[in-house]
Amino acid sequence: MSNTKILAIESSCDETAAAVVEDGRSILSNIINSQIDIHKLYGGVVPEIASRKHIENINPVIRLALKEAGCRLADIDAIAVTYGPGLVGALLVGVATGKALAFVAGKPLIAVNHIEGHISANYPENKELKPPFAALVVSGGHTYLANVSDYGCYEIIGKTRDDAAGEAFDKIARALDLGYPGGPKIDALAKEGNPSAITFPRASVADAPMDFSFSGLKSAVLNYLNSQEMQGNEINKADVAASFQSAVTDAICDRAMLMCDKTGIKKLAIAGGVAANSALRAQLSSECKKRDISFYSPSLLMCTDNAAMIGAAAYYKYIKNEFASYDLNAVPGLGLG
């Protein structure tokens, strides 16, 4: 099924996005309308505001995606939309729009898991990447290690028991008064600090060595900041950021390499917003090189929420005739696998 064009819609959080993707690998357009400037006033995403902005932005974003791709709606083979996980109000805007477009145009509707979309972001930019491979998803709401045995087939090998990696970044950035979004702020500040200045814990889960836990690390950083403040000591924010980031990247890399070692998988793909972190990318690349593991990572734009990744994931559902019905609903707590 060559030259299959899919119009994809993504609205799970605070980016209103639409894209046209051909054959799951070629991005013809990828339009993203970000709400960061609005939500940074509140130090994080406000769900009600996000939903209202999606309603305002979604039709212009879709029109622009079609225009940039040189397509009309009639040229599209299917409509794909993120149906979870995410903010329920935000998801509903995309789901309702996707269903309406599919109905009006008489096109198949494809429901895509947002986390699966992140993994699929690797396909357009690493065209040689095919399953089976190991996937590491690190984002604001999710931290997963998965065995991707085939397109759309995921076995969860490890996951976070509490905070996601990106959530921990945002909370520590807030504690350091760095602003929102926290991940890029900490990444930038850490470059000025000493990652060995402060010893923060690398938590492990005794009965599940592949699982992650970041709540203890978050508490340790907050306790350190409070104790220094109570003692009247000056806090070197760059050292705190670098030491915290080092603890996160060590924990993630250790488990990713453990998974590859135990399973014998020789391909690792990283995905999600935290996959844009420069220290994490460098450390994973280095560790993979030592073990002769092929390392794949999307560009920084494709690490963030976007619709091209949804279109890439949708293509492999299209060729299997995995279509959704018009009673499709948002599933805010949807998991992977």
Query: Which DSSP letter does residue 79 get?
Result: E
Q: Is the pLDDT of residue 73 over 70?
A: yes
Residue spans of the domains in the chain: they are: 5-122+303-318, 130-297
Tokens representing 2 are 């060559």
d(CA 218, CA 242): 14
**Residue 1: which pLDDT band, with cuts at 50, 70 and 90?**
low
What pLDDT shows up at residue 180?
82
Give the Å distances, CA to CA, from 116 to 92, 248, 337. 18, 23, 9
What pLDDT shows up at residue 207?
85
H-run or E-run covering 22: strand 15-22
Hey, which residues does 146 pair with through a beta bridge?
135, 156
- Topology of domain 130-297, per CATH? Nucleotidyltransferase; domain 5 (3.30.420)
What pLDDT shows up at residue 70?
97
Q: Is the pLDDT of residue 148 over 60?
A: yes
Neighbours of 150 (CB within 10 A): 10
Common-topology check for domains 5-122+303-318 and 130-297: yes
Task: Name the 3-class secondary structure at 252.
Answer: helix
Q: Which residues contact 232 (CB under 8 A, 6 or more apart)?
A: none
Whether this model's pTM surpasses 0.85: yes
User: May I ask the CATH architecture of the domain 5-122+303-318?
Assistant: 2-Layer Sandwich (3.30)
Tokens representing 234 are 């000056």
